[in-house]
Amino acid sequence: MDRGLSLHSNHSDLGCREYSKHTRLSQGCESGHGRGGRSVTPSRNEHTIAVSCEVRGRGYWSGRDVRVVMHPAPVGTGIQLVRSDLPSKPMCQASVEKRNDANLRTILHDGDARFEMIEHLMAALVGLEIDNCLVEIDAEELPGLDGSAAAFVAALRTAGLIIQSQPKRRLTLRERIYVESPAGWIEATPAEDGHTSYEYRLSFDGPSPIFDQTFTLRMTPERFIRDVAPARTFVTEAQAQSLRKQGVASHVTNQDLLVIGEHGPIENTLRFRDECARHKVLDLIGDLALANVELVGNFVSYRGGHNLNGRMAQRLAELAASQIPLTHISQSHRNVA
């Protein structure tokens, strides 16, 4: 993103100031707490988008055409997902409390409001530092697109950015947090330099067409856009064949995601040599976004997946709540159209 473009008009109804879409997203207000201060401190101000934008595509699992419309939202709203295809238009807050475990994807569920494969949208919002957004989705499953977050990022960048009047809560880690499973682990540790980083270490038991690889992202919006957002979902050729035999994702072609065979991607080309590890970083960012607080720390995942990511998000949310309770959503925020 370009830096330093001019400030535009006030928007008092959103409690904010508007910046053009290319303004550096990390502008805001910083708190001067030292190492001995609280773990959750105000950092930058909250952000929303300036105008509505949309993305259309097809669900990987359902095969249904899906329209996702993202709208500006007032301070304190968070990310609210709305089932626009249902008569009552049920809503679900994007938070770890609403998360359900599922194989190969993250699901949110609140009453009649159910949303599948939300991690790429959430990663795009976090990567661009967008905190308040009303997202209307006319199906249960979000579109798979090309298996990355690139389309969501492109739409949100076009919509522009609003810097709002309320400080964004920040969780600065002061202690190690560790979650594990028989297959892998995730470790969160303090960031000595105050900069957040995400690392994924990819490794498979036994022979695999996907080589062991590691990718580390020192988080900024610019680096997220360039280095992680384009990284696509991947499966091995054996996994793809198994899913197709089960009648799952039979409409998905080898161009719709990365199918890795013995000699590399089938009917496709890698965008990065370590694209698989980069995509796992994308998933990690999107899943940890459900902690609903800006994170400052180092997050390392060894062979982790959505389940471990969710467990870490829960620990982070609990730690944040124990320090300074997060802002609750008011009824007026829930009624945003």
Query: Confidence class of residue 309 from pLDDT cuts 50, 70 and 90?
Result: very high
Asked if residue 55 belongs to a domain, the reply is yes
Active site residue 195: no
- Flag whether 251 is in a domain: no
Q: Is the separation of the CB atoms in 136 and 84 below 8 Å?
A: yes
Q: What is the pTM (predicted TM-score) of this model?
A: 0.85
- Range of 164's domain? 7-232+271-334
CB 144 within 8 A of CB 60: yes
Q: Confidence class of residue 152 from pLDDT cuts 50, 70 and 90?
A: very high
CATH number at residue 29: 3.30.230.20
What angle separates helix 275-288 from helix 119-127, to the nearest 10 degrees?
A: 80
3-state secondary structure 28-51: CCCCCCCCCCCCEEEEEEEEEECC
> Is 242 domain-assigned?
no
Q: Which residues of 152-162 are buried (b: 16+ CB within 10 A; e: fewer)?
A: bbebbbebbbb
- Tally DSSP H helices, then E strands, for the chain: 7, 21
Q: Which of 192, 189, 185, 214 is nearest to 309 (CA)?
A: 185
Cα angle: 215, vertex 219, 225; to 5 degrees: 85
What pLDDT, in 10s, does the model give residues 249-259? 778 889 989 99
Checking if the pLDDT of 73 tops 70, the result is yes
- SS3 for 291? helix
> 20-29, 89-98, 123-132: lowest mean pLDDT where?
20-29
Asked if the model's pLDDT at residue 76 lies above 90, the reply is yes
pLDDT tens by residue, 232-252: 999 999 988 888 888 777 788
Characterize the bridge pairing of strands 258-261 and 234-236: parallel
The residue annotated as part of the active site, out of 47, 71, 279, 306, is: 306
The whole-angstrom distance between residue 303's C-alpha and the CA centroid of its chain comes to 19
* Residue 241 forms part of a structural domain: no
Residue 253 belongs to a domain: no
Q: Is residue 181 part of a domain?
A: yes
Average pLDDT estimate for 76-80: 97
- Distance of alpha carbon 271 from alpha carbon 10, whole angstroms: 40
The total number of structural domains in the chain stands at 1
Answer yes or no: is 259 within a domain: no
Least confident of 23-32, 58-67, 321-330: 23-32
pLDDT of 51 higher than 80: yes
Q: Is residue 238 part of a domain?
A: no
The pLDDT, as a whole number, for residue 325 is: 55
